[in-house]
Chain A
């Protein structure tokens, strides 16, 4: 089946540093990937839609200059949290849709837990 990986699985950083999270589709191509964040005991909130070869589409209230998204290839999207602060601590999850099918299913990565000290 379709597999999506994320790296790293967890990261601890100091306030003010930048953190990059990778999302890869391992056995399919994805022109569209999605980035979510999930606070403890809450649902997933869509942050942005990552489009291969073009700019990401951000949801209302999400700062595009703080959460930089790059989708340089059909199998890789990266989310960079710039100048991270403690309030950015969260569980970040990506998903990818298989471009080679008509399927609407999104396949989710295992998530990246970010802790900003």
Chain B
């Protein structure tokens, strides 16, 4: 069975500082990986995804993530954060060989930006 672990429940960062949100997955097969962002009282918005190909994936709002198969990680990074990046971030995984296309979410990391 697939699972996703987000080790940090909260990450406080000063504005314009870099940030890394950690995500590790466990799966015995190939995976698709996603990062979603959820602003307060809203649904989820896709930041970026890894399906295949280049292991460095660039997404919206200046975020990027790197797929590391040997470490089973898909950490999210941004070189300089803004107040507007304050939100909940979810890492997610799905099985590319499953017809069900189910997505399994991590527990989320709350990113809070301090001025």
Contact = CB atoms under 8 A, between A and B. Distances in A.
Contacts of A111: 41-43
A4 B44 CA distance: 11
Interface in B75-115: 90, 94, 96, 100-108
Q: Which 10 A-B pairs have the closest CB atoms?
A: A108-B44, A110-B43, A108-B43, A111-B43, A43-B107, A43-B105, A44-B105, A43-B108, A104-B32, A109-B43
B79 to A, nearest CB: 25
Interface in A56-95: 57, 93, 95
Interface of B: 32, 34, 36, 41-46, 49, 51, 90, 94, 96, 100-108
28 contacts: A32-B101, A34-B103, A42-B107, A43-B90, A43-B106, A43-B107, A44-B44, A44-B105, A45-B105, A46-B104, A57-B100, A93-B43, A93-B44, A95-B44, A104-B32, A104-B94, A104-B96, A104-B101, A105-B34, A105-B46, A106-B103, A107-B46, A108-B44, A108-B45, A109-B43, A110-B43, A111-B41, A111-B43
A110 B38 CA distance: 10
Nearest to B106: A43
Nearest to A38: B38
Interface size range on A against B: 20 to 34
Interface in A92-117: 93, 95, 97, 104-111, 113
Contacts of A44: 44, 90, 105
A111 B44 CA distance: 9
Contacts of B36: 108
